């Protein structure tokens, strides 16, 4: 019989990654990245095809430009960084990132997004118990996604890709974004919890010294999340609902 899960009400704050933890937007991101790099690799005559493994290894949890550069480097491609306002057709790191974002935005606008039922149940329970909560996401679309999923009013703090760019925060797996969110919540990391589905995010939370790092396995694998520093791994945040009530 497995050990009971910790009571979240014993902690001072809860920090959530967004894509793959609260909402299934990771699936949209994966499809958009796949379509984008299929096109890029065809243009560059790259023989090793893009795979979902590339997403988990190079892109998942990272800022867009860092992720693009990592994928390109894995295929021996070096491109100018460019700038965030590069058009999608630009042959730059930012251009490729903006090309992907155009695909992602189109899919999100067409299909919308709903939170994972178990994640919604946990967030609503914590919100009802007045637990301080934050979203920490490398995505620049985080606020838009939270609004589309009708979750924006649940979180007093959102630290995302826009915040990281504006405030000069390093991308996950660096601890900067989580530490920034904890400071804005007014809590010490050691007394707070992080829920993360990405290896880079788990590593970032562990490096930041959070009291409990929960890996959420949406496909990367339990062993990989534990190796990155997760204290425990779940597949559904609903498992914590009973321990989230005051």
Q: What is the model's pLDDT at position 1?
A: 35
For the segment 100-118, the average pLDDT, to the nearest whole number, is 89
For the segment 170-195, the average pLDDT, to the nearest whole number, is 97
pLDDT higher than 90, residue 97: yes
Q: What is the model's pLDDT at position 141?
A: 86
Q: What is the model's pLDDT at position 110?
A: 81
Q: Which residues are catalytic?
A: 17, 19
pLDDT digits (tens, 9 = 90+) for 195-206: 999 999 999 999
List all residues 6 or more positions away from 227 whose beta carbon is below 8 Å from its beta carbon. none
- Secondary element (H or E) of residue 227: helix 222-228
Domain boundaries 27-111, CATH class: mainly alpha
Query: Could you tell me the pLDDT band of residue 2, with boundaries at 50, 70 and 90?
Result: low
Which of 23-32, 64-73, 217-226 is predicted least confidently?
23-32
For the segment 44-49, the average pLDDT, to the nearest whole number, is 96
pLDDT digits (tens, 9 = 90+) for 17-35: 999 999 998 788 899 999 9
Take residue 82 and report the two structure tokens written for it. Answer: 């460019």
Structure letter (DSSP) for residue 49: -
Q: CATH 3.40.50.1000 in the chain: give the residue spans.
A: 8-24+114-243
For the segment 220-235, the average pLDDT, to the nearest whole number, is 96
Take residue 160 and report the two structure tokens written for it. Answer: 């995302």
Q: What is the DSSP string of 80-148?
A: ----TT--TTSSSHHHHHHHHHHHHHHHHHHH-----HHHHHHHHHHHHTT--EEEE-S-TTHHHHHHH
Q: CATH 1.10.150 in the chain: give the residue spans.
A: 27-111
**CATH code of the domain occupying 8-24+114-243:** 3.40.50.1000
């Amino acid at each position: 019989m497995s050990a009971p899960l910790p009571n979240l009400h014993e902690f001072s704050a809860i920090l959530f990654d967004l894509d793959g933890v609260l909402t299934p937007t990771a699936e949209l991101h994966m499809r958009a990245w796949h379509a984008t790099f299929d096109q890029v690799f065809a243009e560059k005559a790259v023989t090793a095809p893009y795979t979902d493994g590339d997403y988990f290894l190079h892109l998942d949890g990272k800022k867009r430009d860092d992720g693009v550069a990592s994928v390109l480097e894995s295929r021996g491609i070096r491109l100018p960084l460019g700038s965030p306002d590069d058009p999608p057709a630009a042959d730059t790191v930012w251009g490729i990132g903006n090309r992907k974002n155009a695909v992602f935005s189109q899919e999100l606008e067409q299909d919308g997004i709903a939170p994972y039922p178990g994640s919604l149940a946990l967030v609503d329970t914590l919100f009802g118990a007045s637990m301080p909560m934050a979203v920490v996401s490398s995505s620049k679309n985080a606020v838009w996604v939270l609004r589309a999923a009708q979750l924006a009013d649940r979180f007093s703090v959102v630290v995302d890709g826009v915040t990281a760019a504006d405030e000069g925060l390093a991308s996950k797996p660096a601890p900067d974004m989580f530490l920034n969110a904890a400071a804005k919540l007014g809590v010490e990391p050691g007394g707070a919890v992080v829920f993360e589905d990405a290896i880079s995010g788990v590593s970032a939370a562990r490096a930041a010294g959070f009291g409990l790092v929960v890996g959420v396995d949406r496909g990367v694998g339990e062993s990989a999340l534990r190796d990155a520093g997760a204290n425990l791994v779940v597949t559904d945040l609903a498992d914590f609902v009973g321990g989230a009530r005051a």
